[in-house]
Chain A
Amino acid sequence: MLSEGLQATEPGGFLLIRDTACYSGRRLLKYYINCALKRGEAVHVLGFEVPEHELCAELDRNYLHLFHYHNAYTDPLGWTKQSSFTVKHFSATEITRLVQETQQATASVLVIDSLSWVVRHHDTVAVCQELQKLRKGGSVRMIFGLLHTDLHQQGIVGTVSHLASTVISVTPVNNARYAVAKISQRKKSGKVMQKEEFFSLTEDLTLSIETKPNQSGNVETDLHTKSEVDPMSNLTFNLRLSEVEREAKEKVALPFVFSEEKKSALLRPGRGSGRIMYEPDANDDIDEEDPDDDLDV
């Protein structure tokens, strides 16, 4: 499902990668950039946190002509008057203009690295409105955003997440080679898919997904059609009876039913049945009294 993130061809998709200080989601973001480039889509990056050379270091060299970096890293606030794009320019119209300046025939993808920077300098509501305008505007096919969840209040993270069509939360696993991605994807039909996947990214940005050792988290929730597994399939025994089997079963007498036959068999003293022979010894102390006298029999 991680690798399908990009293929969601619904226009106006918004994929949000949420990370914490323990594990950076930027490599996953790079992987998606690389995938988009390989499919021949123009990628526009609003780079606040990482300089251009660092971001495109591992990308596929053959497609770099499709990669457009809008530098908001060196001067995001206009202090040194060096950059063309500052955080104040974060609006749908301004971004649409930027994207269309270098418009190519192909669809374009917008990458925001990172939304944390934008949210820190703008009102959350305003940011959400601009993002929504961008999605509806049609100038970008898809938006990718990175959000550091541990830098914001929970409400802000929730607000931005509600806007996204796909949310991927990455967390590290102890051995550090792999990380867990919790993916929840909301389709236009209202269907919500949730999945957890182990993944690792190699140096040349190839993604390998491992199946999760514990399958308990692998739940697919579907509100409309609930596919239930039949518990009666694959049984090692037979639950149903044929007519012949049923007749045979009914013929069998149950062991504790007291039939006439059984009664007579019990009452008739059989030959060779056991008997107690007792000859009192001289030393025996025989009690004449009935020992069961006090019993109410």
Chain B
Amino acid sequence: MFAELNSILNTSPDDVTQREFILLSDRKADASFLLHHFLSFYLKAGCKVCFVGLVQSFSHYNAVAQRLGVNLVQAREKGQLVFVEALKASAAVMLNESSSDVAQLFDYLRSPVPELRALFEFVCASLSQAEAEADSSSPPVLIVDDLSVLLSLGVSVRAVLDFTHYCQAAICSRLQGSVVTLVRCDDEDDDDEDDDESSSRLLRALTHQCTLSLSVKGLQTGYCRDIHGQVEIWWRGTGENVQSQRKIFQYKVYDKGASFFAPGTSSAVL
């Protein structure tokens, strides 16, 4: 959890903004540090978290989270964290290896009409259950890392958008919780304007949907040791009269944190 980012976003573990749909995106850079931030942030805030990890294994996320001061193993044993090992499960489904419970969630990879309904139902069930048990003071949270992997696995943009819509309707509106998703844009530019199945199309559609967008970009001038890139924070201003507002920061990621500063004010420059 990065304290600096919290102050920029005007939030803290004691005061979690509800009903947020946060979209993280990156282009020629790595936004996973933000994802780790939100994971540790919501766990520290005491929220029930459902994490769909399509990119890394549990031990990887655990190793990173430990540096940020959160123990995922403990959280999982307490029942605060539901971790979906989607990386292993989807590979297993592809190779037709196992028939475990988790693998059934990923049946969409085989079914004739691919839709993510089973995954949604699982997420929804695990988070609704939490609300029944615990006091509803802390909202449930869904984190997906990352949606563009689904595109690579052959799921259509439409099916992914249906999934996120249902998650938003169920988690943000009904359970008063939050959703955090990551989308990676790897295409060089927008030359595939008419390509229906591109990650940039998914990103644009999710931008319409989200309430807060953090998009990470590499520096145009290339790699730099002291500035790792820039992040544009965009409060979309949907819903409760929040004005749309955009701010750009440059950042540097450290071992156990990250610093954010206005463009051009890096300590290496001044």
Contact = CB atoms under 8 A, between A and B. Distances in A.
Interface in A9-43: 21, 23-24, 26
B236 to A, nearest CB: 8
B194 A75 contact: no
B174 A148 contact: no
B225 interface: no
B168 to A, nearest CB: 9
Contact of B196 (A23, A148, A153, A176): A153
Contacts of B66: none
Interface in B124-169: 158, 161-162, 165-166, 169
Contacts of B205: 148, 151
Interface stretch (B29-37, B44-52, B87-95, B239-247): B239-247
B238 A120 contact: no
Interface string A98-126: 00000000000000000010001100000
B244 A176 contact: yes
Interface residues of B, number: 28
Contacts of B228: none
Nearest to A76: B165
29 contacts: A21-B204, A21-B207, A23-B244, A24-B208, A24-B238, A50-B238, A51-B173, A57-B239, A57-B240, A57-B241, A74-B169, A74-B173, A74-B174, A76-B162, A79-B117, A79-B121, A80-B170, A116-B208, A148-B205, A148-B208, A150-B204, A151-B201, A151-B204, A151-B208, A153-B194, A154-B193, A176-B244, A176-B245, A203-B241
Nearest to A26: B238
Contacts of B161: 120
Contacts of A294: none
Which 7 A-B pairs give the minimum distances between C-beta atoms? A21-B207, A150-B204, A74-B169, A51-B173, A153-B194, A54-B239, A151-B205
A79 B118 CA distance: 10
A178 interface: no
Contact of B166 (A51, A79, A153, A154): A79
B262 to A, nearest CB: 19
Given A21-B208, A73-B169, A153-B194, A79 B120 contact: yes
Contacts of B236: 24
Nearest to A83: B169
A121 B240 CA distance: 29
Q: Classify the interface of chain B: helix, strand, loop or mixed.
A: helix
Given A116-B208, A153-B196, 20 more contacts: A21-B208, A23-B244, A24-B236, A49-B209, A51-B173, A54-B239, A54-B240, A74-B169, A74-B173, A74-B174, A76-B162, A77-B166, A79-B117, A79-B120, A80-B170, A150-B204, A151-B204, A151-B205, A151-B208, A203-B241
Contacts of A51: 169, 173
Given A54-B238, A54-B239, A153-B194, A73 B173 contact: yes
Interface in A184-218: 203
Interface in A135-193: 148, 150-151, 153-154, 176
Contacts of B208: 21, 24, 49, 116, 148, 151
Interface string B169-203: 11001100000000000000000011010000100
Contacts of B209: 49
Given A77-B162, A121-B158, A154 B204 contact: no
A23 B169 CA distance: 22
A76 B173 CA distance: 14
Contacts of B240: 54, 57
Contacts of A203: 241
Interface string B96-109: 00000000000000
Nearest to A155: B194
A224 to B, nearest CB: 37
Contacts of B238: 24, 26, 50, 54
Contacts of B169: 51, 73-75
B31 to A, nearest CB: 18
Contacts of A73: 169, 173
A76 B117 CA distance: 12
B165 A120 contact: no
Contacts of A54: 238-240
A187 B201 CA distance: 34
A296 B189 CA distance: 77
Interface in A60-76: 73-76
Nearest to B237: A24
B158 A120 contact: yes
